[in-house]
C-alpha cells in the first residue's frame, strides 16, 4: 500500500489553504473574551443569510440539531408524520424521531438520488406535517415540484441542505425554497467548521424567533427564564469565526469541485462506471462525486489497496439499519434506494485535490472497470 493515502475528503487541506486567516480569526475570538453567541455568531448569521438569499440564519450546534429545532419550530411533534428518504445520513431520520414524529420514507430518483416526486403524493396522509427533501451529494432535489405538492396539501417544506452549500435550483440557492432549511458545518462539508456546527435559515420571522428561543432553553423575553421548553444548541464563537473565513471562499471552492468532477467525467469515460448526472435546472456542488458499479465492493477493495480512500455514502439505507429496522423496514418497497446502496461509490473530491491525484484515482478505476 502507498504510504500516503488519497483521502475521500480532507478538511486539514482546507485549513492549510486558509491557515493564516483562520489562525487570525481564532486569535481574535480568544482575545475577545466572548466565546458564546457573541459578535462572530451575529456576523456569521447575517453573512450566511445574505449568501443563501434569506432574511434569517440562526447558528446551532450541528446539522442534526438544526433539523430537530426546525421541525419543532414548525410544530412537528408526537402523532405527526414527516416524509423524507432512506438514502441519506441517518441524522435526517434521527431528527424526525427526536421530535416524537414518525418518519415516512419514499423512494429516490435513480438518476439523481433525491426524493422521487412521483411517489410523494401517495405518501401524504392527514397526519403529514412536513416534507424533508435531502439535497444529497450536492445535487438539489426537484424543489419546484416538491413545493407544489406541499402547497396543495398544506404541509411544510424543510430542506436538508447539509451537503449542498452554495448549490442552486432555478437560479435560487438551496435553502431559500422551503419554509425553512437546515445546514451542517461538519468539517468535511463544502462549508465546514473545525468541529461541529449547523444553521437554520428562513424568511419567516416567526420561525426564526422560535428557533432562536429553542436553541437556548426556550429563553425569549428574559435570560434564564424559559417561555417554552428548549435545548442547548448554540454555534460557538470559534466555529463562527472560522466559518466566516471559509464562507468568503465557498463559491471559489465549489467551482473547483465542479472542475474536478468534470475532469473525472473525462478520465472515466472509458470505464463501465455509471457517472453522476446533473439536474438540468440545478447546479451541483459535488460535496461527493458518486459513481455506480455492479462490482462496487471489489472496486472499493482494489482502490483502498492502492492507497485511494474511496468510501460509500451510504452503505445501508436508514430503514434497514438495526436501530430502525423494527419500525421502518415495513414502510414499503424502496427499490431505487436499495439498489443504489449496493452500487454507489464515492471517489475522492475536495478543492485541494491535485490533478496528479485525480489522475491516479481515475487510472485505478479504469484499470479495473475498463469497457471491454
pLDDT tens-digit series, residues 318-357: 999 999 988 886 657 899 999 999 999 999 999 999 999 9
Q: What is the CATH number of domain 249-369?
A: 3.90.1150.10
Residue 29 pLDDT greater than 60, yes or no: yes
pTM score above 0.95: yes
The answer for residues whose C-beta is within 8 angstroms of residue 159's C-beta and 6 or more apart is 132, 133, 135, 141, 143, 174, 175, 177, 178, 180, 181, 182
Q: What percent of the chain has pLDDT over 90?
A: 94
Torsional class of 290: left (φ above 0), alpha (ψ -120 to 50), beta (otherwise)? beta
Q: Tens digit of pLDDT for each residue in 293-306?
A: 999 999 999 999 99
**For residue 372, is pLDDT > 80?**
no
Same fold, 12-247 and 249-369: no
Domain regions of the chain by residue span? 12-247, 249-369
The tens digit of pLDDT for each residue in 68-77 reads: 999 999 999 9
Asked if 310 contacts 304 with a C-beta cutoff of 8 angstroms, the reply is yes
pLDDT digits (tens, 9 = 90+) for 81-96: 999 999 999 999 999 9
Query: Which of 1.10.10.10, 3.40.50.1820, 3.40.50.80, 3.40.640.10 would CATH assign to domain 12-247?
Result: 3.40.640.10
Is 277 within 8 Å of 261 (Cβ atoms)? Answer: no
Amino acid at each position: 500500500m502507498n504510504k500516503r493515502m488519497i483521502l475521500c475528503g480532507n478538511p486539514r487541506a482546507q485549513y492549510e489553504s486558509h491557515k493564516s486567516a483562520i489562525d487570525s480569526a481564532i486569535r481574535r475570538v480568544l482575545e475577545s473574551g466572548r466565546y458564546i453567541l457573541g459578535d462572530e455568531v451575529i456576523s456569521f448569521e447575517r453573512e450566511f443569510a445574505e449568501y443563501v438569499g434569506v432574511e434569517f440564519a440562526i447558528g446551532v450546534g450541528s446539522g442534526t440539531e438544526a433539523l430537530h429545532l426546525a421541525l419543532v419550530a414548525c410544530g412537528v411533534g408526537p402523532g405527526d408524520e414527516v416524509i423524507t428518504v432512506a438514502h441519506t445520513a441517518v441524522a435526517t431520520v434521527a431528527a424526525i424521531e427526536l421530535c416524537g414524529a414518525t418518519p415516512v420514507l419514499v423512494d429516490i430518483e435513480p438518476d439523481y438520488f433525491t426524493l422521487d416526486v412521483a411517489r410523494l403524493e401517495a405518501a401524504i396522509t392527514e397526519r403529514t406535517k412536513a416534507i424533508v427533501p435531502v439535497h444529497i451529494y450536492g445535487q438539489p432535489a426537484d424543489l419546484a415540484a416538491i413545493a407544489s405538492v406541499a402547497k396543495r396539501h398544506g404541509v411544510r417544506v424543510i430542506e436538508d441542505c447539509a451537503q449542498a452549500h452554495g448549490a442552486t435550483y432555478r437560479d435560487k440557492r438551496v435553502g431559500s425554497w422551503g419554509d425553512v432549511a437546515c445546514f451542517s458545518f461538519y468539517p468535511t462539508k463544502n462549508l465546514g467548521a473545525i468541529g461541529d456546527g449547523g444553521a437554520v435559515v428562513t424568511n419567516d420571522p416567526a420561525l426564526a424567533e422560535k428557533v432562536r428561543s429553542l436553541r437556548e432553553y426556550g429563553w425569549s423575553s428574559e435570560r434564564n427564564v424559559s417561555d417554552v421548553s428548549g435545548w442547548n444548541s448554540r454555534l460557538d464563537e470559534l466555529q463562527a469565526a472560522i466559518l466566516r473565513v471559509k464562507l468568503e471562499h465557498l463559491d471559489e471552492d465549489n467551482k473547483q469541485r465542479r472542475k474536478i468532477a468534470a475532469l473525472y467525467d473525462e478520465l472515466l469515460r472509458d470505464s463501465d462506471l455509471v457517472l453522476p448526472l446533473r439536474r438540468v435546472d440545478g447546479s451541483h456542488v459535488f460535496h461527493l462525486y458518486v459513481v455506480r458499479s455492479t462490482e462496487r465492493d471489489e472496486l472499493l477493495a482494489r482502490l483502498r489497496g492502492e492507497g485511494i480512500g474511496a468510501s460509500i455514502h451510504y452503505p445501508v439505507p436508514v430503514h434497514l439499519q438495526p436501530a430502525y429496522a423494527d419500525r421502518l423496514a415495513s414502510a414499503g418497497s424502496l427499490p431505487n434506494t436499495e439498489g443504489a446502496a449496493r452500487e454507489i461509490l464515492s471517489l475522492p473530491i475536495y478543492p485541494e485535490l491535485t490533478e496528479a491525484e485525480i489522475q491516479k484515482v481515475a487510472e485505478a478505476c479504469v484499470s479495473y472497470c475498463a469497457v471491454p
